[in-house]
Amino acid sequence: MHPVLKLILYRAQCYFGERLRRRGAPCEAVRHFTKAIRVEPRSPLVRAYRGRAHAYLESGAYRESMEDLSAIIDTSGQATAEDFAYRGWALHKLGEYAGCIDDYTRAIERGYDPAWVLCARAHAKMQLGYHQSAVADCGDAIEKAPHKSEAYDLRAEAYMHLRQYDKAIADLSTVIAVAPSGNAYWARANAQVEVGKIRDAIADYSQAIEMDPSNAGLYNNRGTAFERLGDYPAAIRDFAAAIAHKPADADAYVNRAQLNVKRGCLLEAVEDCDAAIEIAPRDWEVRMLRGNVRYELRDYDGAIQDYSKAVEIDPANAEGYINRAHVYFRMGQYQEAKDDYTECILRENGRVEAYIWRSRASLELRQYEAAEQDARRAIELAPESPEGYGTRWLIYQRIGQTGKAAEDAGKCRAFGGEINEDMGRL
């Protein structure tokens, strides 16, 4: 084909591709840019590669966009700062945050630094945990576009990670003034909760609910805020609304169960745990919660079942072992209790409570030497706690060492404890 004809065909295909892109048809545009590349594939003619790269970006084909932009950057000698910025965006969408930060930086160093590039680099930095650096990028973006909300919103998120909640509230207030949205009110409410401004948080959650009345998460969060204020009826209503809007989400059931425990409504708490477990059967924390409630209801067999399932799901769960041990102890199954206290100690070697109660289980099994060793270890770990001295007093009382018992009784009282036989019972 004659070179002039090839050039005409190349330009025609690029023209149609660019026109289709402007009309919002990136997939059709890709086909025309591809035809242009087939007519003239030499890398110096970058118009088709660049057009196709942008069309791929707009259609969500991020890998293909990155490859076209790499062809321009690596081989053409005609790369612009924008090419680095858009390849950075393609890498960003692919989750390759270190690479996209590098490309954004190269674009900025070459003079292409609109607010969107600075915000994009800030977002990528946040994904890698560089929140302070992200704050700086957002500040630069705000200087370039002070009336746009995106940089304020992103900086507020970075401040939340840095636990600089007052600064997050200030930025979110700017976002709300410029472009009020349910998400902005929600985020500010969360920040208000962190600084203890619960009533302000409830007001923001309520504004967000007005804008998004079917959002279960908003009702759930507002319910938790009402609970912190002690307004349990309002909290219950919000948890019920969250459940109504999203019945397949366990969170509201769990929150309502915990509130029902506070209210003393233990049977209702069990029902909510049942519902949460049906939704999330592998959630060991809900099993723990139901086990605790069943223990309070003296349903010891049920509590053991729940704690057993919790440690099956998460074998590193020391709390599950010590709670099950307490149930066994209450039931008089002292060897099973001792075994579980040992499992807890294997997972949390410095847990004083486990040594104290293993000591008391050994005492009930008349294993006095083992009981004394654990009491001594508890005292070593917490020398100013009365529990260890009180436990050792029980041992010395049982084996008739009255002098040592009197000495430990004095130490127990000196640290605020009381001496009686009930110390060895749950």
Per-residue pLDDT, averaged over 32-50, amounts to 82
Give the pLDDT score at 335.
98
Mean pLDDT of the chain: 95
CATH number corresponding to 350-426? 1.25.40.10
Checking if the pLDDT of 39 tops 90, the result is no
**DSSP 8-state assignment for residue 281:** T
CATH class of 1-91: mainly alpha
Three-class DSSP category at 113 = coil
Contact 99, 91 (CB under 8 A): yes
Per-residue pLDDT, averaged over 56-65, amounts to 97
Handedness of CA 301, 303, 309, 312 (dihedral sign): negative
Distance CA 265, CA 247 (A): 21
Checking if the pLDDT of 193 tops 70, the result is yes
| Sequence ranges of the chain with CATH classification 1.25.40.10 | 1-91, 113-212, 350-426
E strand intervals along 384-426: none
Per-residue pLDDT, averaged over 371-396, amounts to 96
CA distances from 162 to 126, 130, 152, 165, 187 (A): 11, 10, 15, 8, 15
Q: Which residue has the higher pLDDT, 420 or 67?
A: 67
Least confident of 37-46, 264-273, 277-286, 300-309: 37-46
In sequence order, which residues have a C-beta less than 8 Å from that of residue 311 and are 6 or more positions away?
Answer: 284, 317, 320, 321, 324, 343
Distance CA 261, CA 231 (A): 15
Give the pLDDT score at 420.
85
Three-class DSSP category at 147 = coil
Per-residue pLDDT, averaged over 300-309, amounts to 98
Q: 């070179």: which residue's tokens?
A: 3
Q: Which residue has the higher pLDDT, 236 or 8?
A: 236
Question: Left, alpha or beta for 60 (phi > 0: left; psi -120 to 50: alpha)?
Answer: left
Give the pLDDT score at 421.
76
Give the pLDDT score at 8.
86
CATH class of 113-212: mainly alpha
Contact 388, 378 (CB under 8 A): yes
E strand intervals along 141-237: none
pLDDT in tens, 226-277: 999 999 999 999 999 999 999 999 999 999 999 999 999 999 999 999 999 9
Distance CA 96, CA 65 (A): 14
Give the pLDDT score at 1.
64
Give the pLDDT score at 130.
98
Contact 250, 216 (CB under 8 A): no
Give the pLDDT score at 42.
61
Instruction: Please report, rounded to a whole number, the percentage of residues in the chain having pLDDT higher than 90.
Output: 91
Per-residue pLDDT, averaged over 50-79, amounts to 94
Give the pLDDT score at 207.
98
Checking if the pLDDT of 363 tops 60, the result is yes
pLDDT in tens, 106-164: 999 999 989 999 999 999 999 999 999 999 999 999 999 999 899 999 999 999 999 99
Quickly state the pLDDT bin for 283 (edges 50, 70, 90).
very high
Checking if the pLDDT of 2 tops 80, the result is no
Checking if the pLDDT of 424 tops 80, the result is no
